[in-house]
Structure 1
Amino acid sequence: MQLESILPKIPSTNTFLITNTHKPDARNKSVKLLLEYAQVKEFPFIPQWKTQALIQQARTLADEVGVTLTTDAYKVLIDYTGNNTRLIFTELEKLKTYALGKTVNGDMVKELVSESAANSLQLANAIRLGNIAQALEFVERLINCNEPAFTQMLYSLQVVLLE
């Protein structure tokens, strides 16, 4: 196999990135060979409703960027960005530039970060509670975030009816 002759020649300083929607099958000969020569680092998709996991991911990214946020700032950041890791990283870079070494609070996040995440779970909860004004606000957010609001609303209604 050609891969067997190529892998040992690749410098250890190189990065080989493989994206896949499913975990590679470790029984596959090619995968076994790659694992023999490579260090694996997974970046799992975190669902939007796992807020604590998203906040933990944001904390890790903030440490990497070198910016300090308060607890409420992390909550607002996740509310505004959802589970978009690239957007979270970009917004943390922006917050770092603005903060100039100071701790970022929730108000600063609200001021600087554009709300670009719309959450169908919030819509479902507003519908479940019968809060029509808030539900319409969430539908508007979904539309502003280029989310298919009507589909999201129907999905949310389905979720509420199933509870």
Structure 2
Amino acid sequence: MEQHESTTTGSAPEQVGLTFLTLAYSLREQVDQRTTATAGLSLSRTKVLQVLAGRGALHQAELAASLGQAPRSVTQIVEGLERLGMVARTGDPEDRRRKTVSITDTGRTALRAAEEAGTHVLRQYFGRLEPHQLATLDTLLAHLDIALTGDKTG
């Protein structure tokens, strides 16, 4: 990961938040580059395959809802994965417009490679932290997650 100048000039929430966003973006880019180079899968494609591997075959609309993405975006990802032989789409006998998507063996193999590549990057960077630092970060992220979840529901 490239070095970033710290934008934090104190502990102002907006400055810490900006630093967090900058670093999270850079880390995501590192993972995306590694999964793409290793397995030919972007993070978006990897996430689609993860959902299908975990939940089984889904209608495209269900897949989009599971990912929290627009159906059109997911359709484009699925079409790309289908061209690569990583997913198969079948028509619904009751509604020809409706497609069911399932992961193929090729997709499972690529998914395993992408997950291993992503894990390698995460271990590379988070493994530099001392155990107590990692535990503190985990606690802080859990608090942030609760705050974000509360904002969505409240």
**What TM bracket, shorter-length normalisation?**
under 0.3
More helix by share: 2
TM-score by length of 1: 0.25
Larger Rg: 1
TM-score of the superposition, structure 2-length normalised? 0.26
More strand per residue: 2
Asked which structure has the greater RCO (Cα within 8 Å, sep 6+), the reply is: 2
